[in-house]
Structure 1
């Protein structure tokens, strides 16, 4: 039994679920889907509590957890048409690091300030996770594309007297909600600050292993060098081009990226 298959069975046994999909599309990203869970009929807080508990369970149970960077946990609803299952609705998605701590949560609700940096210090590891809830690039969470930027810095970013060192990379997680799948594979990603291309690379498609169905919600992830990320926050105009589609980032979102970067010193260059 593979590591993913064992984790799937353990999750089904622990939570008495009939269907749980577990996928390791690469050695550093893990996706878990609770399909037609009884919690789909409950409020979002109960699903959030389950996701948090499941993330902690994964951290304790998965032998290769040290290699994992991001854990995605989602709740999916299905409907039956002509004997074939079709996934048609993704209720909530939650992201965690490899310690089971929330990175950011993409939900079907709103917050007073989605662009306010979220700062979480872990005294055990002397690290701080910094993120914003989401940057909406297009539409809304029913039909659109959102970006969740986050990174882990060394030191206590909440202490103004502490020395906080930025990581080499900032993670950009993209979430797409549409009537059909937009991305078929890894996508070209380009970031343009004040008319200059600061980053050009790939956004990796995270595909939940839904063998019997199709799920229109899609997730991609990319690593942006911190130096380029800091330039994004300092820009007057910012554009994100994903899979050939260009999105203008609002001045408010640019300011949020700038506030995130300000929590950490740039990494030291080695000559």
Structure 2
């Protein structure tokens, strides 16, 4: 039996698998996908074998990652619910599906981990919200789950009631950050900076600023104030952003994806 299996091999599953290959050998994993050509390509690139069907993949893995879109999950449930057992650990990365939904969909006799990773996992800098009933898992299983989720970034254990908010905090937010980088670069290009240089400088500024928040422990507002000299250029830009509803727009975006998360199933 393989240690870790994946049903679905999109961008997120591929990123997770590549992170895990730093900790596990290809023979420790198996995967399945709806696309034969994609499976053969992934096997060539990673050495991880693929299964002939979702049921076969489920049968061979101790830890089974359901890495398909929420609308595909009901079909996958039908294919594997008679195969999975309570000895396995089922890990879902699908938005909208609660632990109760997942357990019921898989026949009621399974142990489920609900998670919400994000696309920076593709460069080893993911942020994943994770929830599960710790009483149902052994210490060894909990340690492996920690290894799994930190192999491609960082993880936070959260209460399940907060999982839809995790979608706003880290699941959807990279898109907003990319939009900010693009808009910032556009503004700099408008004033004469070469485009590729503008992208590099804007992206590095975001990376460095995020690192300041994580490593200094200072409040983001305090760090912002450190950049805003009295009567200076930065506070002038901050005032322009506030006039345009910068912060309120982000809060509205969080509200929008939070509500959408709750309607996904």
Whether TM-score is above 0.5 comes out as: no
Q: In proportion to residue count, which structure has more strand?
A: 1
So what's the TM-score if we normalise by structure 2? 0.31
Query: Which protein, 1 or 2, shows the higher relative CO under an 8 Å CA cutoff with sep ≥ 6?
Result: 2
- TM-score between both structures, scaled by the size of structure 1: 0.30
Instruction: Please tell me whether Structure 1 or Structure 2 has the larger radius of gyration of its CA atoms.
Output: 2
